[in-house]
Structures are given as C-alpha cells and as structure tokens.
C-alpha cells in the first residue's frame, strides 16, 4: 500500500502558523512518527509532499528520504516563477527520489494561475521528468482548467480531490461538473483520494456514506487507473484519530472492486505516475 500524500515537519509556530495550537499537528512529525503511523496503517511506501514554500524543505525531505526505503518519492517546492529556477531544477531533479513539484495554488489569486513567469517554470518540469501536484479548492477549478490547458505536456496530479465543499448527504454539483472537465484532459494523470475529511465543516460529524459517495463519484469520473490512495497525514489528524483509520476506510471502499483495480488504487497508480524506482 503506497501512501501518495503525507507531510513531515519540525514544528515551530513561526514557520507553521497555520497549524492550530494544541492539536496533534502542533509537534514534530518526522521519520520516527511516520514509521509508527505507516506501520500501523499497513503502508509500505510513501510520497512526501512539501508543506512550506522554501527550497530548504525540498532538501530536507530528500535527506529524510535517503535514510531508508520507506519514503519512495518527494514532491518538493521550487520557485517556479523565478527566472533562475532552472538552476534549482538542475540540482534537485537528478536525485532519484525527487519526483514532482507543488506550489500552494489554493492560497493564490486567480491571476497567478495564468502568470507568464509561473508558466515558464511549469514548462520546465517535463524536461526533467517531473510531475506537478495541483493543490486547489473546488471554487478554483475553472481557472485551474486554463492552467492545465496551457501546459499540455505537463503531467498533473490533482491533490485532495480538488478540495470539495464537503457536506453530509450530498455531492456538490459544481465539484462534479468541474472534475468531469478535468478528467477530459489527457495530461491529468491522477487524482488523490486524500484530504477529504478536513474539508467538512468543523461542527459537522463526518458521514461515512458521504465519504463513500465521493469515492464512487471519483472512481466513476476518473477510472481505477487514475485514482490514488493518500492519507494526508498528519493533517488528517485534525478530524480523525489516525492514518490507520483512513487506510481502513479506503480499503473498505475498494473491497468490492477487482483485485487489479484495488492494486491500481492502493499502489500501482502512484508508482506509475510518479515514476518511482524499485
């Protein structure tokens, strides 16, 4: 079982001001904690994803990945809108575990999605066999479609189901229609079934049937060859007790599928899209 999305950090209030104090997130979440979480969840490999937009984090994640076989890939951050970003890519991309890049677009205004400097940086990624993780909210899908269409050669993975405005008992129509449009694009190579629990209103109990409905909708829209399992650990701990809980939830959702479909979702799709080495 490959966890295609988790984070690692040495916690402090300055660099991680977005983390609520007093939560399980407000502490170091590094290799020892990851090893405990993955072992309990039955996860045998992971992809670590950036949480800060500083180049030093890309190096730190690769250093941790080099300490063993658990972390099989790193999706880091580079300053894509910097005219000197080629220098960073030339340094990082040769590392066999540097597999992708992410920028936190969910925090950016719409005009950033079409910024010429940003797109110049995005266009460099295919030359280094790097994929791009697309982190957006549901409301940003229309402008994200324009970004996707401007980069036909860039392999793109949608993080966290494009963060739907999750509410119990229904699937958001705008999310469904937007995801169908994204699924039509050939360069959308995958979508992570992750991060959903934190998109529910904090005052709302999370309905398992609604989670399952989102899984089936995602599967119907993208197919079993593009859906990928991810925990979003440790961020998921804001709403559930452990990554094991999420892993068991996803296992229950895929249990009715064929053996091949289960293998695709739980491991093979992530290995293929991120070009993970054995």
**How confident is the model over 189-243, as pLDDT tens digits?**
999 999 999 999 878 899 999 999 999 999 999 999 999 999 999 999 999 999 9
pLDDT, residue 194, reads 98
Q: Are 51 and 33 in contact (CB under 8 A)?
A: no
How much is the pLDDT for 231?
98
Q: What is d(CA 37, CA 88) in angstroms, rounded to the nearest whole number?
A: 32
Is 20 part of a structural domain of the chain?
yes
Closest to 194 (Cα-Cα) out of 169, 155, 164: 164
| Residue 27 structural domain | 2-273
Number of domains in the chain: 1
The predicted model gives 111-125 an average pLDDT of 98
Termini Cα distance of the chain: 14
Residue 49 burial by CB count (10 A; 0-12/13-18/19+): exposed, middle or buried?
A: buried
Beta bridge partners of 167: 170
Domain membership of residue 278 (yes or no) is: no
C-alpha separations of 67 from 7, 45, 46, 61, 234 in Å? 16, 13, 13, 10, 20
How far is 216 from 201, CA to CA, in rounded Å?
Answer: 21
The CA distance from 187 to 125, in Å, is: 13
Spatial separation of the C-alpha atoms in residues 100 and 156, rounded to whole Å? 9
Per residue in 72-82, pLDDT tens?
999 999 999 99
Predicted confidence at residue 252, as pLDDT, reads 98
Q: Which residues does 196 contact at the CB level (< 8 Å), separation at least 6?
A: 160, 161, 164, 166, 211, 214
pLDDT for 277: 87
Mean pLDDT of 171-177: 97
In a domain, 194, yes or no: yes
pLDDT for residue 278 is more than 80: no
Tell me whether residue 253 is in a domain: yes
Domain CATH number, residue 233: 3.20.20.140
- For residue 145, tell me if it sits in a domain: yes
**Sign of the alpha-carbon dihedral angle for 254, 270, 241, 53:** negative
Q: Is the pLDDT of residue 111 over 80?
A: yes
Percent of the chain with pLDDT strictly greater than 90? 96
Q: Which residue from 214, 229, 115 is spatially nearest to 168, judged by alpha carbons?
A: 214
142 three-state secondary structure: helix
Q: Is the pLDDT confidence value at 88 over 80?
A: yes
């Amino acid at each position: 079982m490959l966890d295609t999305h988790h984070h690692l950090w040495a916690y402090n209030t300055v660099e991680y001001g977005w983390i609520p104090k007093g939560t399980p997130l407000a502490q170091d979440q590094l290799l020892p904690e990851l090893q405990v979480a993955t072992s309990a969840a039955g996860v045998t490999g992971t992809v670590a994803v950036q949480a800060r937009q500083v180049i030093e984090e890309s190096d730190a994640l690769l250093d941790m990945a080099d300490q063993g076989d658990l972390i099989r890939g790193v999706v880091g951050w580079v300053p894509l809108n910097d005219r000197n970003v080629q220098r960073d890519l030339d340094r990082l991309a040769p590392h066999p575990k540097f597999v992708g890049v992410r920028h936190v677009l969910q925090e950016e205004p719409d005009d950033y999605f079409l910024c010429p400097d940003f797109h110049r940086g995005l266009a460099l990624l295919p030359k280094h066999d790097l994929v791009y993780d697309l982190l957006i909210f549901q409301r940003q899908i229309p402008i994200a479609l324009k970004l996707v269409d401007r980069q036909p050669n860039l392999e793109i993975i949608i993080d966290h189901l494009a963060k739907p405005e999750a509410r119990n008992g229904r699937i958001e129509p705008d999310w469904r229609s937007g995801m169908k449009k994204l699924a039509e694009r050939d360069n959308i190579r995958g979508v992570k079934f992750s991060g959903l629990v934190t998109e529910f209103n904090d005052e709302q109990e999370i309905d398992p049937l609604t989670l399952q409905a989102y899984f089936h909708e995602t599967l119907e829209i993208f197919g079993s060859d593009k859906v990928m399992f991810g925990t979003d650990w440790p961020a998921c701990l804001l709403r559930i007790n452990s990554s094991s809980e999420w892993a068991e939830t996803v296992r229950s959702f895929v249990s009715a599928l064929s053996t091949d479909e289960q293998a695709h979702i739980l491991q093979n799709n992530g290995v293929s899209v991120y070009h993970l080495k054995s």
